Chain A
């Protein structure tokens, strides 16, 4: 773990905090709230402002939600609703667009493994790591949606989750092998011999799987972090084998301590397990509840989610997060109910509260996302030196 400048009890490492950004916020009526900027959701300025706010709060990283279909309440296809945010920009491009405007915070776009090419994803994330100078991460997800299948026309629905997670694990394996396919010192620019690269330090990855095979090497040199961190939602226990094989960070819906403890026990090799929580924050507990009720009334239904919903004060939320830490979580990914309201409540309310308790950083202590997460830069799996630190020391490699 990194050395934190703030005092913290030896037995209680500082928490890590991320926020999940999507549309105007996670409540379906979020876009109707004051300051929501709903007519600017497709502009760079909107996303840059959110990331600047998160960075001002010293958060570890932000994630950007994405999919290859129109948002819907119907898992089979579009729901025809006109009262909800519809449309999304490509998450990798949004992350790249805000990268030069930020300096410290990690940038973690979502990528659907089901219909994408691991070769393209690998070079895109490596490039995000270059343009952010070591702050890229990847959130990988699958898609079972039949309408998404029809957007690509290459496979037939229904797609089975077990197979899709197997394919996603292969996808991540290929992405990581491609990141490693250039050794760090492969570019030599040796004027005497006229060689730009040392070709013995470039490697074919020769991946063969049931869904695809990839030869390699990458066209993009190894990214600054070596292997940018990979994360995925631990929606339920059926996803654990995928997480164990493929993720540096798992997001666990933190309904109760029992669920957290069983996830922690089931995933001993995953470096980080973050609790997943949707939050509505106000200084008065009743105000947060009233705001949630007002949002529900505007929407015409009570908000439900695949993650637990918290409505209350930053101090109460801090209690809950520290309980999660006791149960074995290393951090949390918070979904702001309304970006315009709940993101500043996290950065200006929750963060100072955690800092007062010695449970959160007071300054960025590293320049890379791996550094912020206390993950060492992994050795290259193809490097010839047998004395090099073993890439297998971390499950990330």
Chain B
């Protein structure tokens, strides 16, 4: 007996602010105008995707003391654009990345509960943390967290938000004009949270939303990140889109769930993935190379190298060999505001490794950067891409993928028109939405409510 086929989950990441987007393409539209979001969301919904995903940034990146000007810059406010998108879609889930460091639980909980009401149960929250003083300069709290406290705050932030979401059980509102009772009892919304990060109490002022709570997403690859996800997330952004790494991550994270009284179905693993199509595999590979050249200009390659070298490399020729000087030691001050500067490893070792790789392949700076940053997960004809996605999901390397096109806003259109029908023919992707809420799309049960506080 073979296993029944797993159903694939697909989502669309609006290609915002980074070097993934090829803004120089004549077909590239605005990353700000609402029309772009409407086009992108409607394509995702036409393709029956689970959800649309928005990333977040709270300070413009800088390099060498200046605002970084080579990539797309400028993005809208997450909550506001998702609420507007709820008006032009019916089923598509709406997932927003919201930072738990520069927000307060009461306000974020009421924004997500409001979004869930206003979308009829389609809201999801990707909980992220930030700890840098650089971003903190835009906020009242001003400061930041010691790095080791960031998961602690995130965990307590999420717990507190759950207490707020659960402070109404959904049966409070009678709205009976005859008896004059709007509420069944006098105490809805009562909450009290006393912890190290938050000491708050009172009454939450948004009634329970259609999903009870938004769907919770979490990203992060560290032990703490994996534990956090296993304990409290509905979905995790996997980091690994390849078979072996994906399977190892999948097995590890799903293996942590029983510890928290949860089953493997209660946490979906969805890596981000890019894709490039052509009519044939060969044509796709050619196109993929062209996209990489557009994503990594000579100037971009030099800036990328500066992240590791931690010094000004503007005098180097991007078509020439790698610098023979070593990286500047100490704290990286050249690149500020990047989500993942490659500083977790010893920069001197990275530089040595890259030099060896460039020498062995006869690669220029630009060619080396194109190689080391290769992140085109799926390249090929539509059939090749459909088979690759399906194979990874059936092999338990993922439950699905969050697709990041390289073009705004039309980069998803071809996927919707070609790959999705192939997946539907294979019986591994829905032809119609099964229910109205994002929990329905993801196959997640209604959340188990905490015991309410009475007050």
Q: Which residues of A contact B (CB under 8 A)?
A: 29, 31-33, 36, 38-39, 41-44, 48, 67-71, 77-78, 80-90, 92-94, 96-101, 115-120, 123-124, 126-128, 130-131, 133, 147-148, 150-154, 182, 187, 189, 191, 194-199, 202, 211-217, 219-221, 298
A68 to B164, CA, bound (A): 13
In the complex, the chain B residue whose C-beta lies closest to that of A178 is B138
A235 to B100, CA, bound (A): 35
Q: Which residues of A contact B198 (CB under 8 A)?
A: 153
Complex contact B114–A93 (CB within 8 A): yes
In the complex, the chain B residue whose C-beta lies closest to that of A148 is B202
The 8 Å CB contact of B81, one of A77, A87, A96, A215, is A96
Complex contact B74–A187 (CB within 8 A): yes
Q: Which residues of A contact B189 (CB under 8 A)?
A: 70, 87
A187 to B84, CA, bound (A): 24
B274: Cβ under 8 A from any A Cβ: no
Known A133-B34, A214-B139; judge A90-B71 contact (CB<8 A): no
Contacts of B151-208 to chain A: CB distance below 8 A: 168, 173, 175, 177, 180-189, 198-207
25 A–B contacts, CB within 8 A, in A order? A31-B182, A33-B177, A38-B182, A43-B117, A44-B117, A48-B87, A82-B185, A83-B182, A87-B188, A87-B207, A88-B205, A89-B118, A90-B111, A97-B84, A120-B102, A123-B76, A124-B77, A130-B81, A189-B23, A196-B69, A214-B137, A219-B57, A219-B60, A220-B75, A220-B77
A93 to B107, CA, bound (A): 12
Q: Which residues of B contact A220 (CB under 8 A)?
A: 32, 74-77
A118 to B181, CA, bound (A): 38
Complex contact A120–B103 (CB within 8 A): yes
Complex contact A153–B200 (CB within 8 A): yes
A131 to B114, CA, bound (A): 18
In the complex, the chain B residue whose C-beta lies closest to that of A298 is B180
Known A82-B181, A82-B186, A123-B76; judge A117-B60 contact (CB<8 A): no
Q: Which residues of B contact A187 (CB under 8 A)?
A: 73-74
Complex contact B183–A82 (CB within 8 A): yes
CB-CB nearest 8 A-B residue pairs: A96-B83, A127-B80, A131-B84, A90-B114, A215-B137, A32-B177, A127-B77, A127-B76
- Nearest CB in chain A: distance from B184 CB, A: 7
A81 to B186, CA, bound (A): 6
B432: Cβ under 8 A from any A Cβ: no
- Nearest CB in chain B: distance from A80 CB, A: 4
- Nearest CB in chain B: distance from A212 CB, A: 4
B59: Cβ under 8 A from any A Cβ: yes
Q: Which residues of A contact B454 (CB under 8 A)?
A: none
Q: Which residues of A contact B80 (CB under 8 A)?
A: 92-93, 96, 123-124, 127-128, 131
Known A67-B205, A117-B139; judge A36-B87 contact (CB<8 A): no
In the complex, the chain A residue whose C-beta lies closest to that of B74 is A221
Q: Which residues of B contact A194 (CB under 8 A)?
A: 70, 297-300
B140: Cβ under 8 A from any A Cβ: yes
In the complex, the chain B residue whose C-beta lies closest to that of A203 is B67
- Nearest CB in chain A: distance from B152 CB, A: 16
- Nearest CB in chain A: distance from B313 CB, A: 16
A83 to B182, CA, bound (A): 5
In the complex, the chain B residue whose C-beta lies closest to that of A47 is B118
- Nearest CB in chain A: distance from B378 CB, A: 26
- Nearest CB in chain B: distance from A75 CB, A: 14
In the complex, the chain A residue whose C-beta lies closest to that of B178 is A32
Q: Which residues of A contact B120 (CB under 8 A)?
A: 44
Interface contacts beyond A87-B188, A123-B77: sample of 8 additional A-B pairs, CB < 8 Å, sorted by A:
A90-B110, A120-B102, A133-B34, A151-B201, A199-B67, A212-B142, A213-B137, A220-B75
A119 to B74, CA, bound (A): 14
Known A87-B205, A131-B81; judge A80-B23 contact (CB<8 A): no
- Nearest CB in chain A: distance from B398 CB, A: 30
Complex contact A119–B58 (CB within 8 A): yes
Q: Which residues of A contact B142 (CB under 8 A)?
A: 212-213
Q: Which residues of A contact B113 (CB under 8 A)?
A: 89
Known A67-B205, A70-B189, A191-B24; judge A92-B79 contact (CB<8 A): yes
The 8 Å CB contact of B188, one of A84, A86, A152, is A86
B391: Cβ under 8 A from any A Cβ: no
Q: Which residues of B contact A90 (CB under 8 A)?
A: 79, 110-111, 114, 206
A188 to B267, CA, bound (A): 43
Q: Which residues of A contact B103 (CB under 8 A)?
A: 117, 120
In the complex, the chain A residue whose C-beta lies closest to that of B80 is A127
B33: Cβ under 8 A from any A Cβ: yes
- Nearest CB in chain A: distance from B135 CB, A: 9
B12: Cβ under 8 A from any A Cβ: no
Complex contact B137–A96 (CB within 8 A): no
Complex contact A100–B77 (CB within 8 A): no
- Nearest CB in chain B: distance from A139 CB, A: 16
Q: Which residues of A contact B69 (CB under 8 A)?
A: 195-199
A127 to B111, CA, bound (A): 15
B72: Cβ under 8 A from any A Cβ: yes
Complex contact B182–A153 (CB within 8 A): no
Known A42-B117, A82-B182, A90-B114; judge A196-B72 contact (CB<8 A): yes
Complex contact A36–B106 (CB within 8 A): no
Complex contact B202–A147 (CB within 8 A): yes
A297 to B69, CA, bound (A): 65
A96 to B102, CA, bound (A): 22
Q: Which residues of A contact B24 (CB under 8 A)?
A: 189, 191
Q: Hey, what's the 0/1 contact readout for B84-100 against A, CB within 8 Å counting as 1?
A: 10111000000000000
Known A96-B81, A124-B77; judge A86-B183 contact (CB<8 A): yes
Q: Which residues of A contact B203 (CB under 8 A)?
A: 69-70, 78, 147
Complex contact A124–B79 (CB within 8 A): yes
Q: Which residues of A contact B72 (CB under 8 A)?
A: 196
In the complex, the chain B residue whose C-beta lies closest to that of A44 is B118
B52: Cβ under 8 A from any A Cβ: no
A195 to B72, CA, bound (A): 9
The 8 Å CB contact of B184, one of A32, A82, A154, A195, is A82
Q: Hey, what's the 0/1 contact readout for B104-124 against A, CB within 8 Å counting as 1?
A: 101100110111011110000
Q: Which residues of A contact B32 (CB under 8 A)?
A: 130, 220-221
Complex contact B139–A119 (CB within 8 A): yes
- Nearest CB in chain A: distance from B213 CB, A: 16
Q: Which residues of B contact A44 (CB under 8 A)?
A: 86-87, 117-120
Q: Which residues of A contact B84 (CB under 8 A)?
A: 96-97, 99-100, 131
- Nearest CB in chain B: distance from A119 CB, A: 5
The 8 Å CB contact of B74, one of A38, A39, A94, A219, is A219
The 8 Å CB contact of B175, one of A31, A43, A100, A120, is A31
